[in-house]
Amino acid sequence: MRSVTVVIIGSGFGGQCAAIELLRRGIDDIVVLERREFAGGTWRQNSYPGAAVDVQSPLYSIASEPYDWSQMFAVQSELEDYTRHVVDKHGLDDLTVLGAEVQRIEWVDDSWHVTTTAGDYRAQFVVNATGPLSTPVVPPFPGRESFAGAQFHTNAWDHDVPLAGARVAIVGSGASAAQIIPAVQPEVGELHVFQRSPHWVMPRPDRKFRPWERRALRVGFVRRALRAAIYWKLEARIIGFKYSKVGLWLFAERHARNLLRDQVADPDLRARLTPDYTIGCKRIILSNTLYPAISSANTTLHDRDDGVAEVTPTGITTATGREIPLDVIVWSTGYDATDGVISYPVIGRNGTALRDVWSDYPRAYLGTTVPDFPNLFIVTGPNTGIGHTSAIFVIEAQMRYIMSAIEHARRTSSRTVEVTRAAEERYTAMIHDEMTRTVWQNGGCTSWYKSASGRVIAMFPGFSFTYRRLAGSFRDDDHVLRPASTDTERAAAS
């Protein structure tokens, strides 16, 4: 069993930020565990047609790692290049073990024992950076395994499957599907879109940067000014999502309704594409091309009443009994992003299982730490998602807290740092009280933002700068720092 100071689980932006911050502090006895055979996370894994970010790239990037972006909203290939740039610059490949799927972590004798498919590790600290959108979900439709054609989840797109002239079904109509549909529609023979419920769609203000603009953005203060302008414009959205119905209309709904009116001429189709819930309750889609693709002659939209009843060897039977012959089925059915925040067993102090602690709903102090799980930090944990700005901004805010906690433990020669139960309960109560004021809780929809409990688990209920302020300082009264246990104490505990 190899011993290190910090194990980081996951090599996406969360893992990269954690590794970079640790290295800056002179902590280089670390290992990054990646379950796949390549490092980089979301933007190396999700290579489906049309994949792109829905936050402007100058903001959707690590603040200390600027990049020469070619357009306002980067596509997957450029985001993959950016990821490679960050990894190469900081030598993160040398710290990363590929093919190391974590099977279990357990707190034993003041250390985390991490069991993986590529060997075991002992660490003083663990940073879980697997991300909330890492465990794909496909509903258990009857007959799914019988389909004779090709089928795959958007998270694992099979680029060897030809689509030209093919009969293709996309099951799901969320953010990934909204990018795939216009990307494949001109190529396929027939496109069947199975929509459980429509999403609000707003225009995507994308543009290529001109050569002189790219040169200007290499200048630090220009780049920072653009980043700040984007940030504050996006931050204003929370006014509508939480505080003002008028703001919600001004910032979002009027633009969405105008786009739907202008791009969908058929009144029946327009009605079927109009949501019956408040905008923002589900993730808002940004697209200038989705509605034209759905309106095209080779596309058929299937509503919930005509949804998937059964998968057959030759295609899909709908709820109305229609037989849809197919060559390819694409499952755009999302992720276990709330109750499945961490997919592997986590066993803390005194044999406490995180699964049991979270049996009602996942919760954590600053969305990051949990009582009875010392020295464990969860990046993009419960209630750290953000629906109006860059997720990387929140990750960087979490890093301020995580690094402060680790530094406090090291500076005081403490073996462990652990949030108190009172602090976690107080923080969780505040989060869910604030959530009652938001569109995510009260917008009249069912979304992946909510856990099985009905509580909104994915989102932070406020401004991102509020979260940054909360995470910006280490509160001694909210934590217990302990020295290493003696042999006698360990024996008594066992």
Count of H helices and E strands in the chain? 17, 20
8 A C-beta contact, residue 58 and residue 79: no
Distance set, CA 261 to CA 29, 74, 168, 177, 179 (Å): 57, 27, 27, 21, 20
Distance set, CA 215 to CA 55, 84, 195, 394 (Å): 21, 22, 43, 28
CA angle 52/278/332 to nearest 5° reads: 35
Q: What pLDDT is attached to residue 337?
A: 58
8 A C-beta contact, residue 106 and residue 113: yes
Task: Locate the domains of the chain by residue range.
Answer: 2-135+337-493, 144-331
Provide the greatest CA pair distance for the chain: 77
Q: What pLDDT is attached to residue 473?
A: 87
Q: What pLDDT is attached to residue 174?
A: 92
Q: Which is nearest to 349 in space by CA: 103, 10, 105?
A: 105
Q: What pLDDT is attached to residue 492?
A: 38
* Chain-centre distance for alpha carbon 439: 19
Cβ neighbours of residue 215 under 8 Å, at least 6 residues apart?
none
SS (H, E, C) 262-276: HHCCCHHHHHHCCCC
Per-residue pLDDT of the chain (494 residues; tens, 9 = 90+): 899 999 999 999 999 999 999 999 999 999 999 999 999 998 998 999 999 999 999 999 999 999 999 999 999 999 999 999 999 999 999 999 999 999 999 999 999 999 999 999 999 999 999 987 667 889 999 999 999 999 999 999 999 999 999 999 999 999 999 999 999 999 999 999 999 999 999 999 999 999 999 999 999 999 999 999 999 999 999 999 999 989 899 889 999 999 999 999 999 999 999 999 999 999 999 999 999 999 999 999 999 999 999 999 999 999 999 999 999 999 999 877 556 678 899 999 999 999 999 999 999 999 999 999 999 999 999 999 988 899 999 999 999 999 999 999 999 999 999 999 999 999 999 999 999 999 999 999 988 898 888 999 999 999 999 999 999 989 999 999 999 764 334 433 43
Cβ neighbours of residue 32 under 8 Å, at least 6 residues apart?
8, 10, 11, 15, 19, 39, 92, 95, 96, 97
> Cα–Cα distance between 349 and 212 in angstroms, integer?
57
CATH fold of 2-135+337-493 reads FAD/NAD(P)-binding domain (3.50.50)
> What pTM value is reported for the model?
0.93
CA angle 255/202/457 to nearest 5° reads: 115
Q: Which is nearest to 482 in space by CA: 428, 414, 431?
A: 414
| Terminal Cα-to-Cα distance of the chain (whole angstroms) | 21
* Chain-centre distance for alpha carbon 243: 25
